[in-house]
Chains A and B, each alone.
Chain A
């Protein structure tokens, strides 16, 4: 089975902190994604990567950056956390054109 692992289920950070969310997949997928999920808004794409060191902005990239130094790992970085970034963050991976597999999510609270 494909496994997508997010490093934390719950995080509490202070405003202004630099926050790293880590995601690892074990199926050699080319594509990896970061979404945030908010009630009533569904899943919104922050960034995605289709190869090592390659990235593209999604629909809401402001305030975020990403890093993909190895194929299996995709990191989401909040440069300076703000309260409006309190959310559920979901990582996913896929082969090109196929379904995405999701991690369990990280619920981030910024206080």
Chain B
């Protein structure tokens, strides 16, 4: 079975500070990894994904995540956050050809002025 652990349920930071949202997964086979973002009163939007190839993946709004197979992690980072980044972030894993997408419990990122 696959599972996802997001180590922090809430992360408060000040504007322009760096942030890291942690995600670890468990799976005995190769996986696809995703980060989704949910702004208040909205559905989930894909932020970035790792399917294969380069272990460092980037989004268009400055977030990046690195797939670390030995540590089974896929942490999300941004060097300088904005107030508009305030949202809940979900890490998810899909076991290759498996249909099932398993989510972590989410991390609420609050960016304060």
Contacts and interface: CB of A to CB of B under 8 A. Distances in A.
B97 A97 contact: yes
B43 A40 contact: no
Contacts, number: 59
A97 B96 contact: yes
A4 B46 CA distance: 14
Q: At the interface, is chain A mostly helix, strand, loop or mixed?
A: strand
Contacts of A104: 42-43
Of B32, B99, B106, most A-chain CB atoms within 10 Å:
B99
A86 B73 CA distance: 33
Interface of A: 4, 31, 33, 35, 40-45, 48, 50, 56, 58, 90, 92, 94, 96-105
Given A44-B103, A58-B100, 12 more contacts: A4-B43, A35-B103, A43-B90, A45-B100, A92-B101, A94-B99, A96-B99, A97-B94, A97-B98, A98-B32, A100-B46, A103-B43
Interface of B: 6, 9, 32, 34, 36, 42-46, 49, 51, 90, 92, 94, 96-106
